[in-house]
Amino acid sequence: MQNISTENYLSEIYKLEQSNVKVKTNVIAKKLEISNAAVTDMLKKLSNNGWILYERYKNIELTKNGKEYASQIVRRHRIWEIFLHQIVGLPWDKVHDEAHRLEHSASDELVDKLEEMLEFPEFDPHGDPIPGKDGSIPKIKDSIPLSKVRVGISGKVVRVNDFDNNFLNYLSQIGLKLGKKITVKEKLSFDNSLLIKINDKQINISNKLASNVFINLN
Amino acid sequence: MQNISTENYLSEIYKLEQSNVKVKTNVIAKKLEISNAAVTDMLKKLSNNGWILYERYKNIELTKNGKEYASQIVRRHRIWEIFLHQIVGLPWDKVHDEAHRLEHSASDELVDKLEEMLEFPEFDPHGDPIPGKDGSIPKIKDSIPLSKVRVGISGKVVRVNDFDNNFLNYLSQIGLKLGKKITVKEKLSFDNSLLIKINDKQINISNKLASNVFINLN
DNA sequence: ATATAAGTTTAAGCATCCTTAAATTTATTA
DNA sequence: TAATAAATTTAAGGATGCTTAAACTTATAT
Ligand SMILES: [Mn+2]
Ligand SMILES: [Mn+2]
Ligand SMILES: [Mn+2]
Ligand SMILES: [Mn+2]
């Protein structure tokens, strides 16, 4: 077990890799809200410790070891999230920040206990997959951003981006949860906003909001 | 919310004050397993920040602010302990270390939630009182160390010291829990060990062990 | 009362993880 | 292709919280 900072870098890099984003100093700095210089500094350390492959000015990649390690941090994070949601009853806009701190503190034994209590969940409260102990990732349902669903088409919410609490809170307010059926009624070319039907109500949502909600068609 | 190190110093000082130990550089260093020099260093910072009263070579005291703050760290610790014990099902020799890390990570809101789930417990799994939000301490039952209970006398276990996991684990093994009735059958002057009756069995325990188990007579 | 022991502080230094500013490299655009 | 912009790294430095060694203060024992 390394320190908190190392764990935060590694899990951030892991998540970027998973979402097929090219991992650059830049991107990490923004995610972690620190300077580029600090990131460069740390990348050297991570590289020296064998967690990442790093050459000056080039993209960053996790090594096998790094990926294994990072997947377990993400695993801990997501198990905490669902524990906090299902057992403790925190709303889905509160669990991420809490889990982000707890993920570095709990022992593996405790996380295993939590997982057992939850009966081995495969997805976190935002629909993100929980990596297994071996790093394997549960099969995700196909999905596209709600912003790309065509008018007249319906689908189910299978995932939402979990990095903005205000966004998540608003989703709750309009009754948008995982599993909910949504129909796109209209797209306004004026501002690219969408008129959607959810819970038998029609609601207008911005394109930006819609692009962070993921829908499984059929 | 300060950093982890500050919180560890403060809660250690608080616990020492509660047990009427004179708080000295020395004692803190031992508890935190760091050098005296490091403690002196930190005492200056804690003093500058108004958490403690400190003069070179003198005993240390928490200020009003310091005591308030420290009590809340101890509160978090003990709520975590009992949550881990009762809800998650960790044995009492595992909860301290885990709680010691979690106590710095959870938000006040989460701790409140946990407390609510537990129906506002007053004591942790080792019988230590859980300070209230206002710093108030639940009334503790009178107790004396088992090592000082006289031959022929019975009493109930109301508290055990929680700083040695091996000790706690052994207590579990011999069926010693909070609330158990214990009778002192004999004291061996040879090594000051005790012959006790518990769960209708007779068992010999060392004086050192007995001095860490606290008994309410009558 | 004095010597010795114990406890505490000071001094110097190290690792970690940040910062800003300047220099360098790579990417983009005219 | 050359100029400009963007991204990245290097350099210098700061805060934190440790370390060991040496100096100093207080407590204890003869
Ligand atoms: Mn999250
Ligand atoms: Mn999540
Ligand atoms: Mn404890
Ligand atoms: Mn305890």
The answer to whether B139 CB sits below 7 Å from nucleic acid chain C is no
pLDDT in tens, B106-158: 999 999 999 999 999 999 999 999 999 999 999 999 999 999 999 999 999 99
Ranges of chain A whose pLDDT falls below 70: none
The answer to whether A37 CB sits below 7 Å from nucleic acid chain D is yes
Predicted local distance difference test score (pLDDT) of residue B1: 76
Predicted local distance difference test score (pLDDT) of residue A218: 80
Residue B121 lies in a domain: no
Chain A nearest C-alpha distance from B168 (Å): 18
Measure the CA dihedral B161/B164/B167/B170, to 10°: 110
Gap from B132 CA to D26 C1', Å: 39
Predicted local distance difference test score (pLDDT) of residue B87: 97
Q: Report chain A residues whose CB lies below 8 A from the CB of B7.
A: none
Residue B123 lies in a domain: no
Tell me how many helices (H) and strands (E) chain A has: 8, 8
Residue A136 lies in a domain: no
Gap from B25 CA to C5 C1', Å: 17
Share of chain B above pLDDT 70, in %: 100
Give, in degrees to the nearest 5, the angle at Cα B168 between B128 and B71: 25
CATH number at residue B40: 1.10.10.10
pTM of the model: 0.94
Residue B171 lies in a domain: yes
The answer to whether B40 CB sits below 7 Å from nucleic acid chain C is yes
Confidence of residue B163 (pLDDT cuts 50, 70, 90): confident
Residue B22 lies in a domain: yes
In angstroms, the CA A140 to CA A137 distance is 8
CATH number at residue B190: 2.30.30.90
What is the amino acid identity at position B113? K
Tell me how many domains chain A contains.
Answer: 2
**A82 touches B at CB < 8 Å:** no
Predicted local distance difference test score (pLDDT) of residue A9: 98
Residue B159 lies in a domain: yes
* Sequence-ordered list of residues with C-beta below 8 angstroms from that of B119, at least 6 positions apart, any chain: none
Domain extent for B35: 4-65
Residue A120 lies in a domain: no
What residues sit around ligand 1, an ion, with C-beta below 5 angstroms?
A 96, 162
Nearest to B89 among A102, A106, A113 (CB): A113
Residues B98, A107: C-beta atoms closer than 8 Å:
yes
The answer to whether A42 CB sits below 7 Å from nucleic acid chain C is yes
Residue A139 lies in a domain: no
Gap from A54 CA to D11 C1', Å: 21
In angstroms, the CA B143 to CA B217 distance is 7
Where is the domain boundary, A12, A33, A65?
Answer: A65
pLDDT in tens, A122-144: 999 999 999 999 999 999 999 99
